Structures are given as structure tokens and as C-alpha cells.
Structure 1
Amino acid sequence: MQSSSTLFPVALLSAERRGDLSEDVYRIKAGNGPDPTVELAVTRLGLADQRVVQGTPIILLHGSFSNRRFWYSPKGLGLGAYLARAGFDVWIPEMRGHGLSPRNRDWSHNCVAAYARDDLPAIAAFVREQAGQVPYWVGHSLGGTTLAAALGGGFLSEGQVAGVALFGTQVSRRYWPLKLPPVVWGAKMLLRRWGQLSGPRFKRGPEDEPIGLAFESLRWHGLFGRFGDRHQDWWAGLAQVKVPLLAVAGAADAQDPVWACRQLFAQWGDARKQFICLGPEEGFEAFGHVDMLVSKAAQAQVWPLVARWLRESPAAVQRACDASQPLTAS
């Protein structure tokens, strides 16, 4: 499936059949940011026997220390593969220096602000061009935070997003020691010594993360910190977002607790929104931060929920919100 993008240079790295699925891997070089070496790998999944992909486009954004394999394993398992088999047009970007995306020149300085300002708009434009439809976006953890930043900061317009699903995403949790300047100074000295955050070393995942992300987080959680960059308050911007939202939290998620995820949900400006807590009181297992999307229990209880939400029109989402009826797995 050759790229015919007229937006910016795009290379088709591979076009393979993986069992019943087709897997096309593109590398896009938008050149729309201060670092001209940024290149992003984007994998497209579809049914192998379907010559023309016609399903609704879905963009899946992985979290920190991760890559496309969070959504799509080498054995053809995962939410991405599930949605492709359900007839959706699935797109899985890998952020700078993750998976098939090479490290850019200024990799150590990468941060959410750069992802939200430069990368997500380029991905949105490319998928919109190739799919011919406005895509839905699904983000987990840092992927969801980046989505919130892009929308709250106005980097992604409402015309580029049909709807958003956020899993384990919050920016309200407070780390009170980081309100003390000496603690922040010590943390910065330690981070500079490490040079990067190693996922394998800290048993967080297969990928490393740049210290730019950590410095940015320290600024957010500092004494006068806020969710935003030096010029914009993204948190305040979220109140103006007019895009349907599905926000999902895990009852056993200690990293991004339910109460904090609910605060982001409450700040979201669009009335077409639904909050789901994955816990026994709501008829689910007590899901944690990762197993809410990557586990056999998630395959049975959460993946069908996502497919159902994607199939519903905004009007149906509005009706569900008005009736205060939570979505349940079919």
C-alpha cells in the first residue's frame, strides 16, 4: 500500500501480511518543528483480504517506556489487532525514539509539549489524508496525557478528532515533596547524571525515555506548576474542548488513581462524555494501570467496550451521558 502523501515526505518501510491482518509501516518526516531530524513510524493494520480499507480510522497512542507492541503483539494479539479484525482502520504511531521511530538529534530534550505541538498534528494530517475520514484517538497513560495537551493547547483542532478515549490518564496527582525547591534541585542533578530514564533498568517497559519528559513533569508538579508549557495553560484549555470523550480508570491503578482521572474528565468541556471505573462495583475486575488494556480479562471485558464506543454516534454518547448509564462490555 504505497503512500501518496502530498503533505510531507513519507516512506513505506514495509507492507506485510501477518496472518489474517495486513501491516503497513510508514515513516513520516513532517519537518514542522525546530528539530528537522524528527521521523515517526506509523503502523497501519487492516484485514489482509480487504483490498481497500473502509473502516473508521482509529489512532492508538502508547504510553511511556512502550511502543506499538502495547497494542499489537508479534503474535497478532492486542487491542489494535482486535479493532482491525472488527473492521476498523487502525493506526499505531510510535513516538520519537520508540520502536521503529529513530531517535532524533535532540532526543534527550523531547517532551510532551513537542509531541503535542509538532507530532500529533502531523500524524492527524497524514491519517486524515490516507483514510479520508476524521480519526478517533485512543491514548493510554502518557499517550493520553499528550492527547490532552494537544487539545487543551489547541494544537489539535476539533476538526482533526472525531472522539477521544483516555485510559489511565490524569494530571492532577500531587507529589508534595516536589513543591520544595531543594528536592527539585536534587532531582534535576540526578536526572542529568543518568542522561535518560531506562525502562528495562527500572522494569517499566522495553523503551527508554528522555530526561526532557522528567524535567517537564518536575515543572508541572513544582511549587507554582501547572499542566502546560511556558506560554499556555493546557488545563484551562481543556474546558473549551468540544470533542466527545470516553475516560476510563482502573480501580486498582495506583499510578493514575481513579479520583485524579475523574478530575480530568470533569475539566473536559464537551458534554458528550462518559466516565468508567474498571472495578467490581461496576461489574469489572479490579484493573490496574497496564492490565486494563493488556490482559485476558481486558480482552473479554474492555476491548468490546472500546469497539462499542467507537461504533456509537456522538448523539448516542450524549444519550448515554444524559441517562447516566455506564457502558458495559457486551
Structure 2
Amino acid sequence: MQSSSQLFPVALLSAEFRGDLTEDVYRLKPGNSPDSSVELVLTRLGLRDGARGVPVILLHGSFSNRRFWYSPKCIGFGPYLARAGFDVWIPEMRGHGLSPRNEDYDRNRVADYARFDLPAIGSFVVEQSGQAPHWIGHSLGGITLAAALGGGYLEEGLAASAVLCGSQISRTYWPLKLPPVAWSGRFLLKRMGGLSGSRLKRGPEDEPLGLALETLRWYSLFGRFGEKDNDWWGGLQNVRVPVLAVAADGDYQDPAWACRQLLEQFGSEVREYLRLGKRQGFSEDYGHVEMLISKGAQREVWPLLQHWLEQGALPAGQGALAQA
């Protein structure tokens, strides 16, 4: 296989025109994790005239894939940014979408995504674009991005800024603080063998057992956001890239106060907070998904995120600045 990269084997799977846009699909085989079978598929959207602007990497959340960011008809936030001149990259995590399940799929964790996959994706985007990318993560995608930054896995030059949409790890689930409940939870998860997105009516993709057990550990008694040898939560104090947290008043899964708490843990000099609700002057109290996928988001939220990417700040009068 002739590689499209000098970093590791990369295959161009397809190159298509999608109306006024181009869609290039790459398969990466980084070979940097203990499971050498890992392959990641990365879609690139750009203008049909070939012009490439600043790179932006969009990370989907749990039970999801690239279609969260754009439909087969090229409608969505990804195409919106591409039409605004950005060089848009959309990875799919292990076993999601076009990315095949690796041999140790059941053991996949956020720790693996953060330590191995995001650095490989970022390095390839920098190689292809010649610029440090901006990162935007929704839900688990934002948590993974925070883990990669707090763990020190995304080296300097691999991230120009970070946007965390509906992402938090501070919400307390009190029953999980009781050891018998946590033990029972682990037992049930192992019996289930993972989480089915269709069965749970959460989305088109499944999530591996390893990720579910990892999340349970975060919220259990004495749990923490990190690994045994790396405290991601504490490491966020050392992060210096600009960070924007987007929260929604109608998001009951990842409440606004918890999203802000994650933002305030960052040591970045530039930290901004955007809360989407009627009290803040928006047309509705946006929900967890609707903050990025809805007619209202297209009209009210997408332009604000575009402004952040272009100017490094929200428009005057929008959002609030969390002082470092």
C-alpha cells in the first residue's frame, strides 16, 4: 500500500465531489498503541476549488459517528465550516462509522483515544495542512479532547484551540459512590458485553465494555478523571491553548454548571463560556444534541463558533470570560 503520509501507513479510500465540496476519506494505521490492529478513518471536507484554510478537527460523541457533523447530502456543521473556508477533518473513533473494530475492541477506553489516537490524528492533519488544527468535541468527544490535553498527549503544535460542547465530568451520581452499587454496575456491564446504541436508543453506534467500565470508575467512590499514572484533571491546570466551553440550558445529560466547572479547571489564559438559553438571549433552551444539530443552532450557534475559530474569541457581548 502506497502511503499518503510519511508518519505511518495511510490509504486514500475515496475522493469524491459532494456538490460544491470535496470529500476525501483516509484510513490511518498509526501503529502507536499496544493493539497494532487499530485503524482510524478520517474524512476531509473542503471547497471544490481546492482552496484550503485553517484546519478544524471535529470529534463526535458516544454512540455516534461522522454523520453527527454532516449528512450524506452535505448538510451540517462540518459542511458549514468547509464553505466558510476551513479545512475540515472528521475522525471516527475505533469501531465507529467507517473505522473498523480493532482486535481488542472490547477493551477500548477514552485513555486509548486520548493517548494514542488523537495525537496520531493531529499529527497527520498538521502534516497535510502545515498548520496546527483547532479541535471541536461534542459530549464524549470533548471529554476525550480534555483528557488528551490534561494528560499532555497533544504536544505543542498539535492544537491551536479547543472547543468543548456539552462536555463535563463533574456531575455526581451518588448511588455510584456506594461500593455495592458500583460492583453491581460492573457485573451488569460485563454481562451485557458493552452498550448498544440502538437498544438504549442513544444513537447508531455501540460503545465498548472498556469505555463503560472506565466511565463507571470516574464516578465511583475515590474515582478521578485520569489513569493510575496520570491525573488528567490536575493536568488541565498546565494547558495553555485557548478554550471555549459551550453549554445548554436544556441539556439535562451534561448540565451547564458542570460544563463550566470543566472549563474553569483549565490553566489557559483565554477561557470563554457560551451558555445557550433564553436567559442569554437565544431563541430557545438548547438541548444536548440540538446545540449543534437544529435549525436554531444553524442560525444562532454556528456563526458564533465560526467567529471563535476566526478571531480567537466570541463576539463582544456574547458569552462570559472565565478569568485564569
Q: TM-score range by the shorter chain?
A: over 0.9
Q: Please state how far the C-alpha of 1:206 moved relative to its aligned partner.
A: 0.3
SS in 1 for 2:274: strand
2:4·2:12 contact (CA, 8 Å) conserved in 1? no
TM-score (norm: length of structure 1):
0.94
- Show structure 1 runs of 5+ residues with no match: none
SS in 2 for 1:270: coil
Q: Does 1:108 align with 2:100?
A: no
Q: Please state how far the C-alpha of 1:4 moved relative to its aligned partner.
A: 3.1
Question: Which residue identity does 1:62 align to in structure 2?
Answer: H
Per-residue deviation, residues 17-37 of structure 1 (Å, max 9, x unmatched): 111110000000000000000
Per-residue deviation, residues 130-163 of structure 1 (Å, max 9, x unmatched): 0111100000000000000000000012321000
**What's the % identity of the aligned pairs?**
65
d(CA) in 2 for partners of 1:217, 1:41: 24
Partner of 1:304: 303
Partner of 1:198: 196
RMSD value over aligned CA atoms?
A: 1.5
SS in 2 for 1:59: strand
Question: Which residue identity does 1:196 align to in structure 2?
Answer: G
Q: Please state how far the C-alpha of 1:47 moved relative to its aligned partner.
A: 1.0
Partner of 1:64: 62
Q: Please state how far the C-alpha of 1:211 moved relative to its aligned partner.
A: 1.0
Question: Which residue identity does 1:326 align to in structure 2?
Answer: Q
d(CA) in 2 for partners of 1:92, 1:101: 12
Partner of 1:161: 159
SS in 2 for 1:286: coil
2:46·2:52 contact (CA, 8 Å) conserved in 1? no
Matches within 5 A, 1:139-154: 139-154=137-152
Q: Please state how far the C-alpha of 1:3 moved relative to its aligned partner.
A: 6.1
Count of residues paired in the alignment: 318
Matches within 5 A, 1:137-286: 137-284=135-282, 285-286=284-285
Question: Which residue identity does 1:310 align to in structure 2?
Answer: L
Question: Which residue identity does 2:23 align to in structure 1?
Answer: E
Partner of 1:326: 318
2:17·2:23 contact (CA, 8 Å) conserved in 1? yes
d(CA) in 2 for partners of 1:159, 1:17: 31
Partner of 1:95: 93
d(CA) in 1 for partners of 2:217, 2:195: 17
Question: Which residue identity does 2:318 align to in structure 1?
Answer: P
Q: Please state how far the C-alpha of 1:232 moved relative to its aligned partner.
A: 1.1
- Show structure 2 runs of 5+ residues with no match: none
Once superposed, which parts of structure 1, at least 4 consecutive aligned residues long, lie more than 2 Å away? Answer: 325-328
1:158·1:242 contact (CA, 8 Å) conserved in 2? no
1:274·1:326 contact (CA, 8 Å) conserved in 2? no
TM-score (norm: length of structure 2):
0.96
Greater Cα offset, 53-62 or 139-148: 53-62
Q: 2:118 aligns with which of 99, 117, 120?
A: 120
Partner of 2:15: 15
Partner of 1:39: 39
SS in 1 for 2:38: coil
Matches within 5 A, 1:282-293: 282-284=280-282, 285-293=284-292
Partner of 2:82: 84
d(CA) in 2 for partners of 1:189, 1:76: 42
Q: Please state how far the C-alpha of 1:327 moved relative to its aligned partner.
A: 5.0
d(CA) in 2 for partners of 1:212, 1:165: 26
1:170·1:264 contact (CA, 8 Å) conserved in 2? yes
d(CA) in 2 for partners of 1:130, 1:209: 30
d(CA) in 2 for partners of 1:275, 1:229: 27
